[in-house]
Structure formats: C-alpha cells, structure tokens
Chain A
C-alpha cells in the first residue's frame, strides 16, 4: 500500500535560522510531488511541484526552495527563515498515471 511521511511534525525556529522539511512516499514509483502551505484559518496554497528527480517548479516567489534528490523524496528548505514563513506545510503525491492527490500529515512551523 502507498503511504506518505513528513517530518518533523512540529518545529519552532528563530528568525534567520535555516529550515529543512522532509517528505517521503512509499509504495509507488515516479509520483508527482507537491509542497503546499496553509496559513492559520485559510486554504492551501501550492508552493512547489515536481514531476521527476531534480525537476522543480515554483508557483510562488518566496524565501523557500525545494529539491527532489530521489524519486520518492521531496525536501523543502530555507537558508534564513522569516516570521511570515510560519504555517502548516503539507506534502502531497500523485501516483503515476493517476488523478487523485494524497496528502501527508503535515509539519507545523512556528518562526519566532
């Protein structure tokens, strides 16, 4: 069966510190991968998506970057966090030749 993992589950970081959030998918090959962010009390906004290893597309100019070093691994990074980076970050995958996206449990990031 397919599963998606994210870690850490929660993170509190000071302004200016680096960030690395990880997402891994099991049970499927060559998925599309996505990073979304949810601000408090709002809907989700797509940040990045990837259709293959090393292929990253950005939807929103920002302080963040993404990388896909392996087929089922997606990483969200920042060199220097801003207060506005606080939020709930969700990773999602689309199985190969499918149409329905599935979401991970999310990482709640608080920048202080």
Chain B
C-alpha cells in the first residue's frame, strides 16, 4: 500500500519563527488534506490540496503531485499553533467515491513564547 512519510517528527520553535513541514507519498494520490490536531484531540481542516498552492492567513501549502510531496508553511508562528500536524492522502489517480484517507505519523510542533 501507499506510504505517507512526514518530516520532521518533532519541531520546537520560538514564537515568531517560520517553519516548513513536509509530506512525502509513495504513489499517485487524488486527494491530499492537511490537518492540525489541537491538544484536545480535535482534527481541524487546514487545506484540501491535491495539487497546486493555497494560502490561508499565516499558513500556506504546496503540493507537487508529479514529485509526490506536499509542504505546509507556517509563518510568524504563535503558541496556538502547537499541536500535531497530519498529512492524509487518498491513493489513486482518480477518485473512486470512497475517499479513504491514509494518514502520515504527523509532525509534533511546540511553539514557545
């Protein structure tokens, strides 16, 4: 099956710093989502980005599907950005209607004041 690898596994930042999180996947995908899991366990949708670039405030994401990776950029980090960031993909060139997500192991981010 498809492998989803996220790096780095852990990241510690000072408030105000920028960071880049990476997600590599081993096969073609037709769906890619980035999530932030807050300390209470809630998964918050950040981006649906099977290809291209999107921006939302201090966050932006880029997926290069032909090279099988996606990047999540966090600028001017805040303590509220702390938590675990997950990349999840649906394998296959075309959506088959089931949209089953395969998750990476996540990047644990701690932002200190």
Contacts and interface: CB of A to CB of B under 8 A. Distances in A.
B42 interface: yes
B-side interface mostly? loop
A36 B98 CA distance: 14
Contacts of A44: 86, 88, 101, 103
A32 B101 CA distance: 12
Nearest to B35: A103
A92 B31 CA distance: 15
A94 B99 contact: yes
B104 interface: yes
Given A43-B105, A90-B43, A106-B41, A99 B98 contact: no
Interface residues of A, number: 25
A59 B100 CA distance: 10
Nearest to B37: A38
Contacts of A100: 33, 45, 48
Interface stretch (A19-27, A45-53, A64-72, A73-81): A45-53
Contact of A105 (B42, B95, B97, B106): B42
A28 interface: no
A80 B94 CA distance: 39
A34 B35 CA distance: 16
B83 to A, nearest CB: 13
Given A43-B106, A88-B41, A101 B86 contact: no
A42 B102 CA distance: 13
26 contacts: A34-B100, A34-B101, A36-B101, A36-B103, A38-B41, A43-B86, A43-B104, A43-B106, A49-B100, A51-B98, A88-B41, A90-B41, A90-B43, A94-B99, A99-B48, A99-B99, A100-B33, A100-B48, A101-B101, A103-B42, A103-B45, A105-B42, A106-B41, A106-B42, A106-B43, A108-B41
Interface of B: 31, 33, 35, 40-43, 45, 48, 50, 86, 88, 95, 97-106
Given A36-B101, A106-B43, 10 more contacts: A42-B106, A43-B103, A44-B88, A44-B101, A46-B100, A49-B100, A57-B98, A99-B50, A103-B45, A105-B41
